[in-house]
């Protein structure tokens, strides 16, 4: 037994004894948490109050930079959030990944929790910038890190890679809804019924994922989970060994969306026919969603159990390292569009042509989505204060350097708009840094492209 385990078991008497013996109340335990954070994780409001009465620091950070308030919000425990806020917990705290407390309730649309944090002083600008920079990075497949301005006006380092699977579902669903309600989407009106079914499938998948959260018993919610799993069209998000994949079930077809590169081969979107569709029952689906799995389960056991045979593929752009959640969920869009509009068995060799309507619709939405995210950062750059301007300038420079090509004449007009912003007096250093490192010092292909891109932009400046 240890203080940490006493807290996990909710044994307040034993916790009191440990503290009376002189065990430090704000020291990290064997799991990398403080006693207060452990009580928040374990959802013990009474114990949390007791630890605070013994002068536990409500803002002490754990080994990954999170606070007890992060965990109370993760557990959607409004009572625990109130206890911590009333004790002085910082509603603008962020962890080592620059993730502020407000992010989860915003993405999960937990309005009561979001309202309480904002009333306590949580700044929406920090959270919105975190989301928008992260999304721009994923939409343009960026790599690296940039600084984001936190609520105190300081900088927090934000990785442009990696995103939560649950968050990807929420954001992509909201984006698709925005697309069909936007003027740009009206030319695709004939396909709106398919878009609406994709949106509904993502909504269901996001609800299923909330039952993966810590402290939620799958058994207690089995009736609701099984009701969701009964839907005809189903997205099943799967986390396995640090990699995110999405499966789609429709009739006797199972589609795997996994866009990573393995041995220089793109997995892509693979359509399987289930020789034993009855085996894909609710129990197996719950295993995929909620149980720990190893790659062998997905690569061999699942194939054998369902008697899967490949009947076709859609090949779209591969993911960039670290963006598997976003890439896999985005792959569901053309996959479902195809499932609802075509028959894979009618295509020669099961290969879907790159010009197929399903892929064209995916690109129409994706390009609108990318443009929207880019223009958000461009517009806010123009009016931002110096620190925030630096942050937005850094991610705009990453787009310019990593994703614009001087040979793509159709995109030069957009490149010039970004370039003009990056030539704002005092912000030329963003592109100068890339030029110095990748062109003048090493003369890499990326650096040569950047130099020629800048020259092309200057011709029309």
What is the pLDDT averaged over residues 296-317? Answer: 92
**175 in the same domain as 108:** no
**239 in the same domain as 321:** yes
What is the pLDDT averaged over residues 391-406? Answer: 95
Is 59 inside a domain boundary? Answer: yes
Domain boundary among 324, 352, 380: 352
What is the pLDDT averaged over residues 70-95? Answer: 95
The confidence score (pLDDT) of residue 214 equals 59
Is 369 inside a domain boundary? Answer: no
Query: Between 234 and 29, whose confidence is greater?
Result: 234
Please give the span between the terminal C-alpha atoms of the chain, in angstroms, as a whole number: 70
Greatest CA separation for the chain: 75
Query: Is a pLDDT exceeding 80 seen at residue 190?
Result: yes
Q: How far apart are CA 278 and CA 197, in angstroms?
A: 24
372 C-beta neighbours (distance < 10 Å), count: 18
Which has the minimum average pLDDT: 58-62, 80-84, 344-348, 447-451? 344-348
- Write the pLDDT tens digit of every residue in 318-328: 877 678 888 89
Query: Between 143 and 320, whose confidence is greater?
Result: 143
Of 97-101, 171-175, 226-230, the range with the highest mean pLDDT is 226-230
The confidence score (pLDDT) of residue 347 equals 86
What is the pLDDT averaged over residues 268-281? Answer: 94
Q: How far apart are CA 25 and CA 1, in angstroms?
A: 16
**342 in the same domain as 194:** yes
CATH number at residue 101: 1.25.40.20
**346 in the same domain as 233:** yes
The confidence score (pLDDT) of residue 403 equals 94
Is 41 inside a domain boundary? Answer: yes
Which has the minimum average pLDDT: 74-78, 114-118, 435-439? 74-78
Is 139 inside a domain boundary? Answer: no
The confidence score (pLDDT) of residue 191 equals 95
What is the pLDDT averaged over residues 246-259? Answer: 94
Do the Cβ atoms of 162 and 322 come closer than 8 Å? Answer: yes
**DSSP-assigned states of every residue in 168-195:** HHHHHHHHHHHHHHSGGGGGGGGGHHHH
Contacts of 100 by beta carbon, 8 Å cutoff, 6+ apart: 92, 93, 94, 122, 123, 126, 127, 130, 150, 151
Query: Is a pLDDT exceeding 80 seen at residue 148?
Result: yes
pTM of the model: 0.86
Q: How far apart are CA 459 and CA 452, in angstroms?
A: 11
E strand segments, 112-215: 145-149, 155-159
Work out the burial of residue 413: count CB atoms within 10 Å of its CB; fewer than 13 is exposed, 13-18 middle, 19 or more buried: exposed
Domain boundary among 304, 336, 352: 352
Query: Between 145 and 164, whose confidence is greater?
Result: 145
Is 259 inside a domain boundary? Answer: yes
**344 in the same domain as 249:** yes
Residue 262 — pLDDT band, cuts 50, 70, 90?
low
What is the helix (H) or strand (E) element at residue 243, kind and residue range?
strand 243-250
Is 33 inside a domain boundary? Answer: yes
The confidence score (pLDDT) of residue 6 equals 92
Average pLDDT, the chain: 91
Residue 210 — pLDDT band, cuts 50, 70, 90?
confident
Which has the minimum average pLDDT: 64-68, 82-86, 210-214, 278-282? 210-214
The confidence score (pLDDT) of residue 205 equals 95
Q: How far apart are CA 244 and CA 323, in angstroms?
A: 9
**172 in the same domain as 320:** yes
**223 in the same domain as 79:** no
The confidence score (pLDDT) of residue 323 equals 80
Domain boundary among 300, 333, 352: 352
Do the Cβ atoms of 257 and 332 come closer than 8 Å? Answer: yes
Count up the domains in the chain and report the number.
2
**172 in the same domain as 114:** no
Q: How far apart are CA 43 and CA 37, in angstroms?
A: 10
What is the pLDDT averaged over residues 115-144? Answer: 91
**339 in the same domain as 282:** yes
The confidence score (pLDDT) of residue 166 equals 83
What is the pLDDT averaged over residues 161-175? Answer: 85
Query: Between 405 and 264, whose confidence is greater?
Result: 405
**108 in the same domain as 170:** no
**192 in the same domain as 110:** no
The confidence score (pLDDT) of residue 345 equals 83
The confidence score (pLDDT) of residue 433 equals 95
**21 in the same domain as 86:** yes
Work out the burial of residue 13: count CB atoms within 10 Å of its CB; fewer than 13 is exposed, 13-18 middle, 19 or more buried: exposed
Residue 2 — pLDDT band, cuts 50, 70, 90?
confident
The confidence score (pLDDT) of residue 350 equals 85
Do the Cβ atoms of 277 and 289 come closer than 8 Å? Answer: no
At 311, is the secondary structure helix, strand, or coil? strand
Residue 232 — pLDDT band, cuts 50, 70, 90?
very high
- Write the pLDDT tens digit of every residue in 22-38: 999 999 888 889 999 99
How many residues are listed for the chain in this entry?
A: 461
Is 289 inside a domain boundary? Answer: yes
Is 377 inside a domain boundary? Answer: no
The confidence score (pLDDT) of residue 47 equals 95
Residue 114 C-alpha from the chain's centroid: 19
The confidence score (pLDDT) of residue 163 equals 76
The confidence score (pLDDT) of residue 274 equals 97
Query: Is a pLDDT exceeding 80 seen at residue 264?
Result: no
Residue 459 — pLDDT band, cuts 50, 70, 90?
confident
Which residue range is the domain that position 103 belongs to?
Answer: 3-122
Contacts of 356 by beta carbon, 8 Å cutoff, 6+ apart: 314, 338, 342
């Amino acid at each position: 037994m240890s203080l940490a385990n006493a807290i996990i078991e909710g044994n307040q008497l034993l916790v009191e004894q440990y503290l009376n013996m002189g065990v430090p109340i704000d020291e990290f335990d064997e799991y990398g948490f403080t006693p207060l954070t452990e009580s928040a994780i374990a959802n013990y409001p009474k114990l949390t109050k007791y630890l605070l009465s013994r002068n536990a620091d409500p803002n002490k950070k754990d080994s990954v930079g999170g606070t007890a308030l992060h965990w109370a919000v993760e557990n959607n425990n409004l009572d625990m959030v109130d206890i911590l806020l009333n004790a002085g917990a910082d509603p603008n705290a962020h962890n080592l990944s620059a993730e502020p407390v407000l992010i989860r309730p915003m993405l999960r649309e937990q309005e009561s929790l979001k309202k309480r944090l904002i009333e306590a002083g949580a700044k929406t600008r920090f959270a919105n910038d975190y989301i928008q920079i992260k999304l721009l990075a994923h939409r343009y497949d960026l790599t690296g890190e940039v600084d984001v301005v936190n609520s105190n006006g300081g900088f927090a380092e934000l990785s442009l890679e990696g995103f939560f699977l649950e968050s990807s579902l929420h954001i992509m669903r909201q984006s698709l809804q925005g697309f069909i309600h936007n003027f740009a989407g009206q030319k695709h009106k004939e396909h709106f019924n398919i878009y609406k079914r994709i949106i509904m499938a993502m909504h269901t998948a996001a609800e299923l994922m909330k039952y993966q959260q810590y402290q939620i018993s799958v058994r207690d919610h089995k009736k609701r989970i099984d009701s969701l799993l009964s839907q005809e069209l189903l997205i099943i998000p799967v986390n396995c060994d640090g990699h995110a994949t999405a499966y789609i079930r429709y009739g006797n077809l199972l589609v795997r969306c996994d866009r990573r590169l393995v041995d220089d081969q793109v997995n892509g979107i693979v359509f399987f026919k289930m020789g034993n569709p009855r085996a894909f029952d609710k129990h197996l689906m719950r295993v995929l969603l909620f149980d720990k799995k190893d790659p062998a389960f997905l690569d061999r056991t699942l194939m054998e159990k369902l008697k899967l045979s490949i009947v076709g593929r859609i090949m779209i752009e591969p993911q960039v390292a670290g963006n598997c959640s976003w890439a896999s969920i985005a792959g569901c869009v053309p996959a479902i569009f195809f499932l609802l509009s075509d028959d894979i068995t009618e295509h020669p060799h099961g290969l879907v042509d790159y010009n197929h309507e399903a892929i064209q619709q995916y690109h129409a939405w994706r390009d609108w989505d990318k443009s929207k995210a880019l223009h958000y950062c461009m517009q806010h750059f123009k009016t931002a204060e110096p620190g925030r301007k630096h942050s937005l300038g850094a991610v705009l420079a990453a787009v310019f350097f990593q994703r614009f090509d001087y040979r793509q004449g159709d995109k030069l007009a957009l490149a010039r708009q970004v370039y003009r912003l990056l030539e704002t007096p005092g912000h030329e250093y963003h592109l100068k840094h890339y030029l110095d490192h990748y062109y003048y010092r090493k003369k890499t292909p990326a650096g040569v492209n950047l130099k020629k891109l800048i020259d092309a932009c200057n011709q029309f400046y």
